[in-house]
Amino acid sequence: MLKRFFRSEYVKVLFSSDYVFSVPCMGCDSLLDLMKYRNIKDKLIKEKTLKPKNMLRPDMCSYDDLRLVHKDSYLKKLADNQHLSEILKLDLSFMIFDSVMEYYRAVTGGTLLGTAYALRWNIPCFNLGGGFHHAHPDKGEGFCLINDVAIAIEKFRKLKRAQKFMIVDLDFHQGNANLLYFKDDPNVYTFSMHGDEWIKIDRPYNKDILLPENCGDDEYLSILKNELKESFMEFKPDIVYYIAGSDPYEKDMIGDMKISREGMLERNLFVYRKIVNKNIPLVVLAGGGYGPESWEIYYDFVSYCLTNKI
Ligand SMILES: [Zn+2]
């Protein structure tokens, strides 16, 4: 049984200086905004919303922890910039391997530290990144090299800090790697509501909801509220990982949904309140989000939770 000592109104935000690629990517026409999480952090600090007491600076995930999920042969392949370029769709010819891997290891370290805090203190933790739900043990896809959530689940299960885990994934893209990785695991519930389905697997403790094209606020929120309620009736997790992808946003450059900025905040606060009010430890990951206005969605969410008592 988990020990929970107190609840605080102050959420924690995870970020470190290793959360940004340390070499210039100027000129590459990627949809990835590599600076967006640092910009969110800087804006929150400037506005005095994010205070030192809210911040946690994670260490990089160790290679031993990476190996809890990923194959050695795959980790060795990640040293090849050509391979990385294909997954990330970036021109990495000027980049050194370490800077890319350091980014993924730092953010994964954030998901691990967030899990430790959430389980120990039952304080909601926001990672300014992470939710790399397309990363398989032996393959990276769609901007995801390292599966931070799967690593956290394996690590804290091994430490016997939690037994039952739930992933609530509201990114525009299906959480395919998590579905596949945990397909035979009755202690991990995978919930994914998306506009882009990658695989189909029938398993208990899973909900895959493919949304109609051009889905708008009302339809989206009504499906989410009904389906998530059902999932929590089926499964009682010790901890929830919420992958709060911003790409269902109407201004996103990849997703084709029509969710307004207000609708995205309502979505995020609905999930947040649902889990926090059930007194379940929560780790929030940023997930995907593409284009110049994408950062606003995660910023709105973190900012609201830092300034409002929920
Ligand atoms: Zn996505």
Structure tokens at 103: 């980014």
State pTM to two decimals. 0.93
Cα 288 to middle of ligand 1, angstroms: 4
Taking the CA atoms of residue 153, residue 123, residue 267 and residue 252 in that order, the dihedral angle to the nearest 10 degrees is -70
Cα–ligand 1 centroid distance for 52 (angstroms):
30
- The rounded Å distance from CA 156 to ligand 1 centre is 26
Pick from 282, 261, 299: nearest CA to 37: 299
Kindly provide the residue ranges of all beta strands, DSSP E only, lying in the chain, ordered along the sequence.
12-14, 55-56, 125-127, 165-169, 188-194, 206-210, 239-243, 282-285
Please write the tens of the pLDDT for every residue from 40-85: 999 999 999 999 999 999 999 999 999 999 999 999 988 877 777 7
In this structure, is residue 156 part of a structural domain?
yes
Residue 29 forms part of a structural domain: no
Question: pLDDT at position 91, please?
Answer: 67
Q: In sequence order, what are the residues at sequence separation of 6 or more whose Cβ sits closer than 8 angstroms to the Cβ of residue 12?
A: 54, 55, 56, 114, 117, 123, 124, 125, 126
Whether 113 is in a domain gets the answer yes
Q: Is residue 5 part of a domain?
A: no
pLDDT in tens, 229-271: 999 999 999 999 999 999 999 999 988 899 999 999 999 999 9
- Ligand 1 center to 2 CA (angstroms): 33
Question: Quick one: pLDDT at residue 32?
Answer: 67
Across 186-271, the runs of DSSP E, i.e. the strands, are 188-194, 206-210, 239-243
Cα–Cα distance for residue pair 126/129, rounded to 1 Å: 9
- Counting the structural domains of the chain, the total is 1
The residue range of the domain holding 264 is: 12-18+34-307
- Quick check: is 27 in a domain? no
- Check residue 27 and give its pLDDT: 46
Query: Ligand 1 centroid vs 120 CA: distance in angstroms?
Result: 30
CA of 248 to the centre of ligand 1 (A): 8
Q: Which of 231, 243, 84 is nearest to 153 (CA)?
A: 243
Phi, psi of 172 (to 5 degrees): -60, -30
With H, G, I as helix, E, B as strand and everything else as coil, classify residue 207: strand
Does residue 25 sit within a domain? Answer: no
Rounded to the nearest angstrom, the distance between the alpha carbon of 145 and the centre of ligand 1 is 14
Instruction: Calculate the CA 24 to chain-centre distance.
Output: 24
Name 274's Cβ contacts closer than 8 Å, sequence gap at least 6: 228, 232
Residues 6 or more apart from 72 whose CB is under 8 A from it? none
* Distance from residue 62's CA to the centre of ligand 1 (Å): 26
**What is the band of 4 on the pLDDT scale with cuts at 50, 70, 90?**
very low
Q: Are 131 and 245 in contact (CB under 8 A)?
A: yes
193: its two tokens: 């509501």
Measured in angstroms, how far is the CA atom of residue 133 from the centroid of ligand 1?
9
Q: What CATH number does residue 164 fall under?
A: 3.40.800.20
CA of 174 to the centre of ligand 1 (A): 8
Q: Is residue 256 part of a domain?
A: yes
- Percent of the chain having pLDDT more than 90? 74
Question: How far apart are the CA of 244 and the centre of ligand 1, in A?
Answer: 10
7 lies in some domain: no
How far apart are the CA of 124 and the centre of ligand 1, in A? Answer: 23
pLDDT in tens, 189-225: 999 999 988 899 989 999 999 999 889 999 999 999 9
pLDDT tens-digit series, residues 268-296: 999 999 999 999 999 999 999 988 889 99
Report whether pLDDT(97) > 70. no
